[in-house]
Structure 1
């Protein structure tokens, strides 16, 4: 553009015009380093996706054997899962492509891992849970239990936590927290309106603590700092959901991942519903109660009667009445119990009974009574799903036989749940995430990678067993704070299975505590969805979550670690033995070990790592 075109004519009052030159603002220049940092901040995930496959290629190029090819896939998926460079379910699809093309596992066998018995049990249990949500039965149960427990500050908090724990045993942790948070919010807001508590620190205190830097008219909810009572209630529900999810096999995706991997690797010793319930419920109750006690002590001054918190959070009779009225109001809004709720409740209890009595062990199960064909947990789960669509939501159709003409229904009766609701609420992505873990376990077994890792980890057998178990639980809890619980379980469990075989320890002894520990994420919002939901709604900072999570982390670590050498040996007496099927698998692994060792150069990094591990364990390195 020419200079003349850049100029603009400005008219004056006398009719004359004057040309002026517009001001050109200087263009901000960025250094190469600033551009690189900006690029890295925007596209680091794309760089991980592009660079990681090539960075890991030496694993295959240096020694092209099935074990290393499978290790390449495992490491690639681990990096993608932990960084979330690709969506978790997309990463979980990689075995379908890489296992056949790398000669690890056939396409048919790989795809079969994505629709196993455990997967259909998960889908069936999830649909039953959605039916409970669909008719609001879970809200009715929750509000009724809270009103029975009581509405004093401590009882109310305990009631909310206990109900969240119980509900989370049967529906997803995320749904349990999403259900309880509006109830907690309504109670706290009503108490605040009566001047009995504060949900957020007032402006003066916030300014003194340096929390607010905005003008009063610019402040929003995200600028407010929650009070201790708010953190106690909201994070208590989030923690109770994670703990309660361990109570039953269908309680969380981590449980289903463990069951699927264990059943796939050791088909002679499958995980059953009754023993899971019997073992986990006491542990769950202890974790929940002590977590509530810790939160009460830390945030609300329990056992500290002279503390500021203890004096501040005493509701008194008036406060209890206000809280009780809120609960009663919420319960009355649900109306009288409907025919739909009654039928769903019956089917829910029937599903629990069918899971529990399929093969209870102490008596002949119903599966053995009706057929000699093996029946898994997926069969009763899908039976209940079919029943949900066969039964009507109400029995108005009976009026055609007994009612007056004016009372006859004008429309068809829907089923207890609709497929549209299921389709929009089932987390289909979790199916691929679970399937990816099952495929990794099968690929590691077929390729010999698990046997190779077991050989190198055999030096750990010289460690005291209780110390080894503690380290496994500790590492599982640490890793699950920063990545998907199911993804961590998918990576750890196959390795622990082979380690147990090499140590001649029952595989359940190492895998079960690790699986439970993978659900215990209490310190970060990204650790698990319940943490993220509670933190987001109440604007709870990461520091507050980290401090609140200290107690639950220590409690769950100790209870899981100590429960297996004590209560676990009562529920699972087989843990003290090394079963024949496991010995046969261990012997097969040992026979394959010389072949694996011959295929790996003695100067390889894995061999050096193995030698160093053995040296440290045997005390030769000082």
Structure 2
């Protein structure tokens, strides 16, 4: 019943706005506002899949005269969409050959046998994986290994139950937090980063290089990971278990089961490293051969295509990936990018950003610092309740208008708000990693809220500090 009400509410409100005897703004702005409200309501309530909602502009914008179908659909083929597509394909190859699991196990090997070291190892491995594959996939890879470690520790030790319980809670929460944090380090690690990049590129012709973002995102993620470790493992749920020899046994058994590294894995690793290297040295390549005009999207697509054409074995399917493998790609996220860009462009072309800018510029008494703190705080807690991609899509045009109205650097307002949307640590439904570890049965809602609330607050501080001290040095 609730879903039906939410389903009806969006179009009813949209039609009501269009039928008003007097326009709220002007005829074209009213049409865009009505369509935007419809999309926002469906995104917030999830009356239908958020990706299905993202297809609405293709249908309703041409009908309302906001743009032709060609003008609308071009946003669904934005170069940033293909950057993310290439990243998804590379991540798919890593998962198919189990290279991501091998990499994670080798990281865990380095962290030692102490309980806190084991948890930190799981957090570090999860965060590093989440930089390149989805936070859901990184959690799915790490959770079974973490549960195996916990079960063996429980079986082999005679420690008291409270210590074991705290160990399980900190291990689960640590993995979830690390999955969310790791994605912030790269442009393809979490969808909000790519939505922001596409918005800045399309509306303001601002470009952020892949390596350029990493010089900002990696230190930020490392700092947040350290904060998460301290809050979850050292403060909220310290286990006090000490040495865990059994954890080392689990890791060695898992590595033994994988066997020696295979040709497919070596090929995927080589192509992955070549793609990352291409992102790092893109500027130098363009300096040597200016006519290439190489972009991060070029490099991502080259790496993705290579996985379909470079042979690694004999037979009818000699390459790492086949077309049927692409059924596992998160196509919905790519559609969501397109819908978000179409909506943002309509808001910009309709004059909403200019209107916000004009209003804000008249408010002389407003402090840019306080406004930024308020916006980041709002997004930090809203992202617990709605999709971070939908949230960023809705907020970016508003933030841009506020930044321009306050005469502030656009990136100094847009980037911290985008990062805040990935800091959802409090509730199981906030992100897939939270839901996955909650489903393990070792974490209660109250336990997640307790550590997540303080982690949200510390994330606010870390984001603001890096925004004021690190961001100006890079962008």
C-alpha separation in 2, matches of 1:78 and 1:229: 40
1:376 Cα offset (Å): 2.4
SS of residue in 1 equivalent to 2:440: helix
Equivalent in the alignment of 1:192 = 154
Matches within 5 A, 1:58-457: 62-63=23-24, 64-196=26-158, 227-267=165-205, 269-301=206-238, 309-310=239-240, 313-314=241-242, 316=243, 320-359=244-283, 365-372=284-291, 374-394=293-313, 411-412=315-316, 414-423=318-327, 425-457=328-360
Q: Is the 8 A contact 2:179 2:433 kept in 1?
A: yes
Q: Is residue 491 of structure 1 aligned with residue 428 of structure 2?
A: no
Q: Is the 8 A contact 1:67 1:452 kept in 2?
A: no
C-alpha separation in 2, matches of 1:557 and 1:458: 26
Deviations 1:111-148 (A, max 9, x none): 00011110000000110011111111111111111111
Equivalent in the alignment of 1:44 = 5
Structure 1 residues 520 and 180: CA distance shift in structure 2, 3 A: same
Aligned length: 474
1:555 Cα offset (Å): 1.8
Structure 1 residues 73 and 59: CA distance shift in structure 2, 3 A: farther
1:229 Cα offset (Å): 2.0
C-alpha separation in 2, matches of 1:42 and 1:553: 30
Structure 1 residues 352 and 460: CA distance shift in structure 2, 3 A: farther
Q: Is the 8 A contact 2:111 2:121 kept in 1?
A: yes
1:336 Cα offset (Å): 0.3
Structure 1 residues 539 and 188: CA distance shift in structure 2, 3 A: closer
C-alpha separation in 2, matches of 1:82 and 1:46: 11
Structure 1 residues 497 and 46: CA distance shift in structure 2, 3 A: closer
C-alpha separation in 2, matches of 1:87 and 1:547: 30
Q: Is the 8 A contact 1:68 1:449 kept in 2?
A: no
Q: Is the 8 A contact 1:49 1:85 kept in 2?
A: no
Structure 1 residues 387 and 59: CA distance shift in structure 2, 3 A: farther
Q: Is the 8 A contact 2:10 2:38 kept in 1?
A: no
1:553 Cα offset (Å): 0.8
Structure 1 residues 276 and 42: CA distance shift in structure 2, 3 A: closer
C-alpha separation in 2, matches of 1:383 and 1:68: 43
1:539 Cα offset (Å): 5.1
1:488 Cα offset (Å): 0.3
C-alpha separation in 1, matches of 2:260 and 2:317: 19
Q: Is residue 471 of structure 1 aligned with residue 392 of structure 2?
A: no
TM-score, length-scaled by structure 1? 0.73
> What is the root-mean-square deviation in Å for CA atoms of aligned residues?
2.1
SS of residue in 2 equivalent to 1:372: helix
SS of residue in 1 equivalent to 2:60: helix
Structure 1 residues 55 and 526: CA distance shift in structure 2, 3 A: farther
C-alpha separation in 1, matches of 2:7 and 2:212: 45
Deviations 1:233-287 (A, max 9, x none): 11111110111100000101111111111111111x2121122110111111011
C-alpha separation in 1, matches of 2:80 and 2:364: 31
1:435 Cα offset (Å): 0.9
Q: Is the 8 A contact 2:28 2:66 kept in 1?
A: yes
Q: Is the 8 A contact 2:7 2:42 kept in 1?
A: no
Runs ≥4 residues deviating over 4 A: 58-61
Unpaired runs of 5+ residues, structure 1, are 1-39, 203-225, 302-308, 360-364, 398-410, 573-622
1:61 Cα offset (Å): 5.0
SS of residue in 1 equivalent to 2:443: coil
Structure 1 residues 516 and 370: CA distance shift in structure 2, 3 A: same
Structure 1 residues 382 and 294: CA distance shift in structure 2, 3 A: same
Q: Which structure is higher in helix share?
A: 2
C-alpha separation in 2, matches of 1:343 and 1:350: 11
C-alpha separation in 2, matches of 1:461 and 1:533: 47
Structure 1 residues 447 and 156: CA distance shift in structure 2, 3 A: same
Deviations 1:364-420 (A, max 9, x none): x213433425332211111111111222224xx6xxxxxxxxxxxxx4452112222
Equivalent in the alignment of 1:585 = none
The structure that has the greater radius of gyration is 1
Unpaired runs of 5+ residues, structure 2, are none
TM-score, length-scaled by structure 2? 0.95
C-alpha separation in 1, matches of 2:267 and 2:330: 25
1:453 Cα offset (Å): 2.5
Q: Is the 8 A contact 2:169 2:442 kept in 1?
A: no
Equivalent in the alignment of 1:509 = 412
